[in-house]
Amino acid sequence: MERVSADLESVSLVRRALEEDHASQDATSFAVVPEGVQARGRIVVRQTGVLAGTSLAELAFSLCDDSIEQKWLAEDGDSVSEDEEIFSCLGPARALLAAERTALNLLQQLSGVATLTARLVSRVKGEIQVLDTRKTVPGLRDAQKAAVLAGGGVNQRRDLEDELLLKENHFALSSLNYEETVAQAVSSAGGKTVGVEAQSEEQALMALKQGAAYILLDNYSTTELPLAVTNIRSAFPGAILEASGGFGEHNIAELCGSGVDRVSIGATTHSVSSLDLSFYLEVL
């Protein structure tokens, strides 16, 4: 399938990963693989999941040798099954070996993110949006957030500059009271979205009164949420309410019927099992 040109950030990311692996100094391949040997490679899925990270994996091969021919048989967001071949390539054997681990590391990790996100989304049956957080692997934030989208999730703010989100530590450090702190943030936001963490219905109502765009209902149990949502919406019918804290595959379905619009789950990016993939090579 046709690919778009890689952005500079992606190139930099993959180049750093290859340099970390000393891909251009593969001592084993130099010792036993004759220079000039051509090989065919293929990536095969070992467990059912959702694919993500294909563009970065492709970059790993092309940065090692731009003569490598590559063909994807699946794309980001596709469900893939055990024993399914998703990628094939043709090129210098040494270059394929040099790129292999970097390509697989990225593809497996990001497919793990997409797979977990898809499982979470399936458990709420479209009733609630599943959001990621900033709890990402350093250097992989954009890639992981793209993988969340591939799995059917929604991106929360990308970074600290993106929007304002007042949380417990901000209130602890502010010289103002809760309501005044929210008011100051809203007046200073310059048009940016302002989200506010609330530990009680009273705090949620104060924040909404001062212009908060959404409320993060932190560490509410699934039995407490329905009444809290009802009470908050009786005063602010259009309030966007987000559950957060302690939700995952084991209990996310319990949010259905609670009335919240969305749930943010850090585990989508920080507690992921990589999707099992294998790379096979054969000499031409």
Residue 2 has pLDDT above 70, yes or no: no
Calculate mean pLDDT across residues 182-207.
Answer: 98
**Structural fold of domain 8-120+272-283:** Aldehyde Oxidoreductase; domain 3 (3.90.1170)
pTM of the model as a whole: 0.94
Residue 194's SS3 state is: strand
| Contacts of 238 by beta carbon, 8 Å cutoff, 6+ apart | none
The proportion of the chain whose per-residue pLDDT surpasses 70, expressed as a percent, equals 98
pLDDT of residue 219: 84
**7-40 pLDDT tens trace:** 899 999 999 999 999 999 999 999 999 999 999 9
pLDDT of residue 6: 65
**46-66 pLDDT tens trace:** 999 999 999 999 999 999 999
Question: Which one-letter amino acid corresponds to residue 85?
Answer: E
Q: How crowded is residue 68: how many other Cβ atoms within 10 Å of its Cβ?
A: 19
| Contacts of 229 by beta carbon, 8 Å cutoff, 6+ apart | 217, 241, 258, 259, 260
Residue 122 has pLDDT above 90, yes or no: yes
pLDDT of residue 7: 87
| Contacts of 99 by beta carbon, 8 Å cutoff, 6+ apart | 18, 23, 60, 61, 63, 64, 65, 68
Calculate mean pLDDT across residues 135-141.
Answer: 96
pLDDT mean across residues, the chain: 96
Superfamily of domain 124-270: Aldolase class I (3.20.20.70)
Q: Do domains 8-120+272-283 and 124-270 have the same CATH topology?
A: no
Pairwise CA distance, residues 238 & 109, whole Å: 37
Work out whether strand 129-131 and strand 85-92 pair parallel, antiparallel, or are unpaired.
unpaired
Q: In Å, how far from its chain's centre is CA 183?
A: 32
Q: How crowded is residue 49: how many other Cβ atoms within 10 Å of its Cβ?
A: 26
Specify the residue for token string 């980001």.
76
- Could you please report the per-residue DSSP string of 124-171? HTTSSEEE--S---TT-HHHHHHHHHHTT-B---SSTTT-EEE-HHHH
Residue 131 has pLDDT above 50, yes or no: yes
Q: b vs e for 238-263, b when ≥16 Cβ sit within 10 Å of the residue's Cβ? A: ebbbbbbeebbeeebbebeebbbbbb
Pairwise CA distance, residues 137 & 134, whole Å: 9
Work out whether strand 240-244 and strand 262-264 pair parallel, antiparallel, or are unpaired.
parallel
Q: How do the domains of the chain map onto residue ranges? A: 8-120+272-283, 124-270
pLDDT of residue 4: 43
The proportion of the chain whose per-residue pLDDT surpasses 90, expressed as a percent, equals 95
Residue 68 has pLDDT above 60, yes or no: yes
Q: Which residues carry out catalysis?
A: 101, 135, 167, 197, 218
Q: How crowded is residue 218: how many other Cβ atoms within 10 Å of its Cβ?
A: 16
- The end-to-end CA distance of the chain, in Å, is 23
Calculate mean pLDDT across residues 2-7.
Answer: 55
